[in-house]
Structure 1
């Protein structure tokens, strides 16, 4: 899909969408089969010409494996929600509606709130383990939409407007509000070729003024969705007021300016929404999606492994055996990023040393070249909550919620003068731990518990409950006593 296109209007056949040029200019609403074709990315497979090259040259082809994207059910369901999110957000921002025009020209937050505009924007949230492909999915998804649409005429009338369909920003590594604004201006400049970063990021510019510029630009350029990736970086902010200020700003963008939002981060992002129920409600919005690691017998894990094995530039075929499957899962624990790294490193080693890829070679490469990942992988392998807690971005969603509540209980006990020792209780151990020699297969399931828009998830019920303790206890997140105070 081109980054910038001139608007061409196609009615959708849906009454709430037709007649709105911002919606009619979007690509058609695709079926699942088409979405799968658009999202997948299979780099060039090994060719006979490449296989005739010397091993050192063939080694340069191995890096293509890092570009593999295998669509999963989770991707298809998220795309459907994403499609509704953008179009639903535009329904209230019909450029020919009086209230939408008043919102567009509001000079400040006060005028924005009194413009008569009623937002139709919602939010999506993606949480999951580090390395499970959240960012890869988002990058593949936004490429199915043009980023910028230039309008000139609509229905025989002049209609000059620049529409930014999507804008993706990364939360800065320090989580600072100023850094977040700078990331927004840089993304906007990248989409439009403008110089808003130089214009607004002055040394004396206050954060309040920068945020006001962000809001105005989102409205002026009809931003269809703002994607905030790496949201867990806000946890690095020591100043709780600054953290809450950013979350409130996101809410204002959605509620008052009508900008749909997509939050993306590791499961440690949950802590950002724990203290204020309205933040949790808005974070969940339309749906919440969770990227947890695969089980060894998941069909999608099997498909992923098989795809990687096809990209083989060594002279000997890699035979897929039960021993190989067990070894790959044991060394990666169902994490897609770990799998890709192990596969590439092993092929490079095999090509450099004229060896055949075998389960024992995967083990050797893991032992020698993936040392920095041993601790988090061993923590996942142990299923010990205390070990997993050392790596917040690796803790599964259910355990993350339980861990938060348990810490809150300990804090409350200390404030109340309780002498009971702090112990992690009730954290479920759900994933099986295969050994190098034998693997006990768990019950089959999909990649993750994907949220159906018609089904309210347990996490959503907890988030929307006025009594976190009772709701969490009812859903079995943990076992704990009374008087829990969430921060």
Structure 2
């Protein structure tokens, strides 16, 4: 049969040991993460309940978007491993060529795309379930490390395979920091000492970068995931341009790459790669708060609430499920991370201060009104009310406020607005990104900027130095560049 002779269907030790799925229901089961599975909640002590409410947790009942994202990552990895099939002469030749070239030539070899290259961008503001989705996608690929025995068809005496590798972007945006993170993750998985040995052998970043890509190919890495991309470590860091070049090399490496983070972290990509075609060959995934974009009837909140409400440690069932769901969505702005935080805060307040051992809808409201939620209330309210002005504190750091303002039919203009309880009503000067005219120096604005900086360091970006032109990179030019890039990237996604 023709199907049996096609390279895609050929026996392949790189994929033969991975889980196979015959239905979407099986995928849903693997993607579902219920941290309390196996616990008898009714038998938990007060202290155990309290510990579960304050510890890190990542419950997930997959939405359509998280399933689609996971299947994309799964498909990228499987497709690449099939191209590198060591049983086929073409697969062996591909890997051997890249391994040799990376070690001898360095990262410069990957200026052009290698066969099997693919990139997925997973974007979204904080708390929108990006990380838990990607981590559960790794579970679809099964065990991280496979130790292969002798295989005559693959010409192996033995071999190690890393199915997926998950690392965080270096906090300072340096290539060296990211390379060390990759090596440390390999060492943790394999029990090796690459992080110590390789920098000694390859003295420059360029040589080390190429050698690490070669190493990843020799280990048949299925997919490399880099999380925690932010404006500060990928756009405005001292080494941003060098990091951009390195990430483009990773995109060209022949190993599937998933970049996860804040939308602003990727604003440079469209301009840097000219037309952005390779970045959108696989449609980027933009995670929004539930109800922020599109028809509210299809915002997947019910699925999100099902997953969050399963994380419940009080001994008696919570009251009025429908009302709890409605209030939690309103108080969290539909942001899953904030909703989970409020859900656990409400349970903890009941646990500590109420005579009952069940949760009522009003408990969620009390958690929302608590001073401990002050810092996030504007964020939740902004999305709940679809009021972009309430999101201005996060405009240039985490939330693409102008994108949402346009989507909600209320584009922002030059205004002075209060930023709410979270910053003690500090006044924030907002500059429109469409303005190109040069403004005269304004001593009052400069003084206002100094006062605001003392009140909240994050607000200092919103004020301009009056002695610089609008395009100057020390003033608004770098921000404008990032926003223009983000706008271009979002326009590519919409097509």
Q: Given the alignment of the two structures, is residue 301 of structure 1 paired with residue 301 of structure 2, yes or no?
A: yes
| Higher RCO structure, 1 or 2 (CA under 8 Å, sep 6+) | 1
2:100 to 98, 105, 109: 105
Query: Which ranges of structure 1 fall in alignment gaps of 5 or more residues?
Result: 1-10, 422-461, 477-487
- 1:388 matched residue in structure 2: 391
CA pair 314-156 structure 1, distance change in 2 beyond 3 A = closer
Q: Given the alignment of the two structures, is residue 59 of structure 1 paired with residue 50 of structure 2, yes or no?
A: yes
Deviations 1:54-82 (A, max 9, x none): 54454345458934221111122222222
- 2:66 matched residue in structure 1: 75
Note the aligned Cα RMSD (angstroms).
Answer: 4.2
Deviations 1:289-322 (A, max 9, x none): 1110112655731233244445544355322255
1:269 CA drift (Å): 2.3
- 2:346 matched residue in structure 1: 346
Q: Which runs of structure 2 are paired with 1:269-418 in the superposition (5 Å)? A: 269-278=265-274, 280-295=276-291, 297-298=297-298, 300-314=300-314, 316-320=316-320, 323-356=323-356, 357-368=359-370, 369-391=372-394, 392-395=397-400, 398-399=403-404, 410=433, 413-414=436-437
CA pair 408-162 structure 1, distance change in 2 beyond 3 A = farther
Q: Is the 8 A contact 1:176 1:234 kept in 2?
A: no
CA pair 37-318 structure 1, distance change in 2 beyond 3 A = same
Q: Which runs of structure 2 are paired with 1:463-474 in the superposition (5 Å)? A: none
1:413 CA drift (Å): 1.9
1:189 CA drift (Å): 0.8
CA pair 375-112 structure 1, distance change in 2 beyond 3 A = closer
Matched residue SS, 2:284: strand
CA pair 19-315 structure 1, distance change in 2 beyond 3 A = closer
1:36 CA drift (Å): 0.5
1:207 CA drift (Å): 2.6
Q: Given the alignment of the two structures, is residue 121 of structure 1 paired with residue 117 of structure 2, yes or no?
A: yes
Q: Is the 8 A contact 2:49 2:313 kept in 1?
A: yes
Deviations 1:239-265 (A, max 9, x none): 57x32322222322332x311111111
Query: Which ranges of structure 2 fall in alignment gaps of 5 or more residues?
Result: 415-429, 443-483
Structure 1 distance, partners of 2:435, 2:314, is 59
1:216 to 211, 214, 226: 214
- 1:152 matched residue in structure 2: 149
Structure 1 distance, partners of 2:120, 2:34, is 27
- 2:472 matched residue in structure 1: none
- 1:429 matched residue in structure 2: none
1:23 to 15, 26, 46: 15
1:353 CA drift (Å): 1.6
Using the size of structure 1 for normalisation, the TM-score is 0.72
Q: Which has the higher helix share?
A: 2
CA pair 365-204 structure 1, distance change in 2 beyond 3 A = same
Deviations 1:364-411 (A, max 9, x none): 22222322322322333453334424214233794499999x999948
CA pair 114-46 structure 1, distance change in 2 beyond 3 A = closer
Matched residue SS, 1:287: coil
Question: Is the deviation greater in 134-143 or in 197-206?
Answer: 197-206
Question: Is the deviation greater in 258-267 or in 384-393?
Answer: 384-393
1:90 CA drift (Å): 2.8
Structure 2 distance, partners of 1:315, 1:94, is 53
Using the size of structure 2 for normalisation, the TM-score is 0.71
- 1:134 matched residue in structure 2: 130
Q: Given the alignment of the two structures, is residue 265 of structure 1 paired with residue 253 of structure 2, yes or no?
A: no
CA pair 233-473 structure 1, distance change in 2 beyond 3 A = closer
Deviations 1:423-442 (A, max 9, x none): xxxxxxxxxxxxxxxxxxxx
1:190 CA drift (Å): 1.1
1:463 CA drift (Å): 8.6
2:241 to 216, 240, 244: 244
Structure 1 distance, partners of 2:406, 2:240, is 20
Structure 2 distance, partners of 1:44, 1:335, is 22
CA pair 122-474 structure 1, distance change in 2 beyond 3 A = closer
Question: Is the deviation greater in 110-119 or in 91-100?
Answer: 110-119
CA pair 22-409 structure 1, distance change in 2 beyond 3 A = farther
Deviations 1:70-109 (A, max 9, x none): 1111122222222221122234434333343222222333
Q: Is the 8 A contact 1:92 1:100 kept in 2?
A: no
Structure 2 distance, partners of 1:327, 1:155, is 62
Question: Is the deviation greater in 317-326 or in 242-251?
Answer: 317-326
1:136 CA drift (Å): 0.8
Structure 2 distance, partners of 1:270, 1:69, is 26
Q: Is the 8 A contact 2:146 2:162 kept in 1?
A: yes
Structure 2 distance, partners of 1:80, 1:175, is 29
Structure 1 distance, partners of 2:56, 2:112, is 52
CA pair 15-217 structure 1, distance change in 2 beyond 3 A = closer
